[in-house]
Amino acid sequence: MSRIRMLPVETWDQALREQTGADAATPLEQGAMRAFAHIPEIAKGLAAFATAVRQHRNLPERLVELVRLRIAFHNQCRSCMAIRYRDAHEAGVDEALVCSLELPAEAENLTPAEKAALAYADRFANDHLSIDDAVYDGLRRHFTEAEIVELGVWVAFCVGFGRLGATWDMVEELPSAFLDRSADRLAPWNADYIVVR
């Protein structure tokens, strides 16, 4: 059971429902917005930010999803690990690719740019103060300045909200492997998953 009460969509602020398309979404697709609905004005701002990040990004869908899943592992956010977004799935993020996230530096099916982004995400999630000029110089080999800013925003979003989601323990709709509390550390690779819109 989630540690924060998830509000049913019919109780949400009407403008928030319309902005997020929540009426047409499953509870799993409504996700954490069911908790954010307790604070509708902030939820609307968060939804606008998330929409802007999704609609106006330049980074490839595949890279964005790989970074999200790798950070989900570090955060141990069960719902983040269990979800696969349809756009990313259609962009080729299959389970063989997700399994590459176990050891991304050694993976043969990841591009050098993806490896650099994942290494940055790993540091950001685990040791952000170790990110120095050399790390940014390495990113510049693969990304424009604007793309590096976009990557940083995405990583910060995933780290922060993924950790929040992990503390809320939103697992009701997840596959059984993500409900098992006996597992010391879960991973998104080699696990059941759910594709959402």
Angle at 81 between CA 47 and CA 107, to 5 degrees: 115
Q: What are the residue boundaries of the structural domains of the chain, listed by start?
A: 9-55, 61-196
Confidence band for 159, pLDDT divided at 50, 70 and 90: very high
Nearest of 159, 170, 85, 95 to residue 128 by alpha carbon: 159
Task: Place domain 61-196 in its CATH homologous superfamily.
Answer: AhpD-like (1.20.1290.10)
pLDDT tens per residue across span 22-74: 999 999 999 999 999 999 999 999 999 999 999 999 999 999 999 999 999 99
Taking 90 as the threshold, does the pLDDT of residue 197 lie above it? no
Mean per-residue pLDDT, 164-180: 92
* DSSP per residue, 39-64: SHHHHHHHHHHHHHHHHS--S-HHHH
pTM equals 0.94
